[in-house]
Amino acid sequence: MQLKASFRNDYSEGAHPRLLQALVQASAEQNAGYGLDRHSARAAGLIVARCGQPQAQVHFLVGGTQTNLLAISAFLRPHEAVIAVESGHVATHETGAIEATGHKVLVTPHVDGKLTPDGVRTLLAANTSEHMVKPRLVYVSNTTELGTIYSKAELQALRALCDAHGLLFFLDGARIGSALTAAGNDLTLADIAALTHAFYIGGTKNGALLGEALVVVDPALQADLRYLIKQRGAMLAKGMVVGAQFEALFEDDLFFELGAHANAMAQRLQAGLKAAGTALLIESPSNQVFPVLTHAQIDGLVQVTAFERWGPYSETHAVIRFVTSWATRPEAVDALLTAIKNLVR
């Protein structure tokens, strides 16, 4: 029996009703163009206040790949390179967007999806002369591609290493709403802002139709960013479309409530899977769950709902990924669990 709900990703649904309402309201006004509208200004102010970094700049962009390529190409000189884990989004799932701006992405193996200081050190040790690129920006994402989260201590260690080697620290927060509300998280938005030179807050995967908020904490990186945004085709004529949504997300705790809800749904699913005896690739604290199933079970599950095939696990088993969102309902999770129990029994 086909379930109604897909678990393929956290961008299947549109926007939370309060964001839609804000958008409809702003749509009826006349607003200044190119992100200079009152909604974008207010949303930026709310975010800066949450970050506790009054000098920070906020720029509203449309999507994650766009934000990554914009920031990285704005911050680096041509010979400077990014450090990321092999599974990093910029390394594998952005169609070479970073390279298309001229920069190499140096990669190192991940540990539970995360970049480690040792990984950074290995790349620094291997790139030491003008015949190689110059490592300059450390890229992490929180949550990671495996749904895991960084601890405060882990980010502090990476930042200390960056400071010791003149590296910039950039955090991709496409799923930061899920990260900051995950079980075991000990970071706040203010911590992230204090520990990075720049990062972004993902709206697309946390209740918005589209939109990411790039927060540039370090004043040395702020000059002329609006030129670069325009040049990359990333400046919306009607910037209020993103501004009004972020205003709604941050004028109270909605942004965090949506992340917490997605996590709760994923944990309900993960707990149910464990109870049913299903193995997991990794214990995820956030809104992505990675069960290990037999090929036959996966083939059966395809008839029931939508999900991603993550990769091979063994001769007989493979990993799939379920993702929950701000819009996932508990009944949908329970229906999925029932369907899986029928398949794995």
| Residue where the block lists tokens 């405060």 | 152
Closest CB to a copy of itself among residues 18, 152: 18
Q: What is the token pair recorded at 132?
A: 């190689």
Do residues 340 and 303 lie in contact, with contact meaning Cβ atoms separated by under 8 Å?
Answer: no
224 is a contact residue toward a copy of itself (CB under 8 A): yes
In the chain, the amino acid numbered 129 is: S
CA distance 169 to 147: 20
In the chain, the amino acid numbered 199 is: F
Closest CB to a copy of itself among residues 53, 67: 67
- Using DSSP bridges, classify how beta strands 105-108 and 168-172 pair: parallel, antiparallel or unpaired: unpaired
Segment 73-112, which members bind a copy of itself (CB under 8 A)? 73-74, 77-79, 81, 92-97, 99-105
Contacting residue, 227, 283, 330, 331, with a copy of itself by CB under 8 A: 227
Segment 48-77, which members bind a copy of itself (CB under 8 A)? 62-70, 73-74, 77
| Residue where the block lists tokens 């939508």 | 306
CB of 80 to a copy of itself, least distance (A): 8
Segment 182-221, which members bind a copy of itself (CB under 8 A)? 204-205, 209-210
Contacting residue, 46, 72, 133, 162, with a copy of itself by CB under 8 A: 133
131 is a contact residue toward a copy of itself (CB under 8 A): yes
Segment 3-22, which members bind a copy of itself (CB under 8 A)? 5-6, 8-9, 11-15, 20
First CA to last CA across the chain, in angstroms? 16
Segment 259-318, which members bind a copy of itself (CB under 8 A)? none
Contacting residue, 50, 226, 317, 341, with a copy of itself by CB under 8 A: 226
Closest by CA to 180, choosing from 279, 280, 100, 257, is: 257
Q: State phi, psi for 14 to the nearest 5 degrees.
A: -80, -125
Closest CB to a copy of itself among residues 133, 187: 133
233 is a contact residue toward a copy of itself (CB under 8 A): yes
CA distance 146 to 39: 34
120 is a contact residue toward a copy of itself (CB under 8 A): no
Q: What is the token pair recorded at 318?
A: 């493979």
